[in-house]
């Protein structure tokens, strides 16, 4: 399988773009390069679609509100008192509820590893 190649040139280089295509490059990013250009080129070349954090948060926010009230209440209480061991157990319960909850449980696990209890509380 052939890789994908993107070219970038300094402003002092005046090689025509056609020369890059002839060399086998798949994309060209002119300077100055903005991050959005890089992401767009990667998306096009690799045929990927980005899921932005706001979209993921919105989906996970909907998942949080769909958790059983009793479990959600125990999560809030454990987060309020900083009971990390209890939170670990409750995250395990979330994982076992339904495969759809696994990304949410994964996010809570990552937050817990960073001991970011405040953020866990905000998510609940």
pLDDT digits (tens, 9 = 90+) for 76-110: 898 888 888 999 999 999 999 988 888 888 888 88
Instruction: Let me know whether 35 and 80 are in one domain.
Output: no
The pLDDT value recorded for residue 11 is 61
The pLDDT value recorded for residue 91 is 92
Assigned domain for 1 exists: no
Number of folded domains that form the chain: 2
Instruction: Let me know whether 80 and 35 are in one domain.
Output: no
Instruction: Let me know whether 78 and 113 are in one domain.
Output: yes
Instruction: Let me know whether 65 and 119 are in one domain.
Output: yes
Domain containing 22 equals 6-46
Neighbouring-strand partners of residue 29: 8
Tell me the helix, strand and coil percentages in the chain, rounded to 5.
65, 5, 30
- Between vectors from CA 108 to CA 35 and to CA 83, what angle results, nearest 5°? 140
Mean pLDDT, rounded, of the chain: 78
Instruction: With 0.85 as the threshold, say if the pTM is over it.
Output: no
Instruction: Let me know whether 89 and 37 are in one domain.
Output: no
Measured in whole angstroms, the distance separating CA 37 from the mean position of its chain's CA atoms is: 19
Q: Which residues of 74-113 are buried (b: 16+ CB within 10 A; e: fewer)?
A: bbeebbeeeeeeebeebbeebbebeeebeebbebbbebbe
């Amino acid at each position: 399988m052939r890789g994908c190649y993107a070219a970038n040139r300094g402003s002092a280089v005046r090689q025509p773009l056609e020369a890059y295509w002839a060399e086998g490059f798949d994309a060209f990013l002119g300077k100055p390069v903005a991050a959005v250009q890089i992401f767009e080129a990667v998306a096009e070349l690799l045929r990927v679609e980005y899921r932005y954090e706001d979209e993921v948060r919105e989906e996970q926010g909907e998942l949080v509100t769909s958790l059983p009230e009793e479990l959600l209440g125990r999560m809030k209480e454990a987060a309020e008192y900083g009971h990390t061991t209890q939170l670990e157990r409750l995250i395990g319960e979330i994982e076992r509820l339904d495969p759809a909850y696994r990304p949410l449980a994964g996010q809570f696990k990552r937050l817990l590893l960073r001991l970011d209890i405040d953020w866990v509380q905000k998510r609940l």
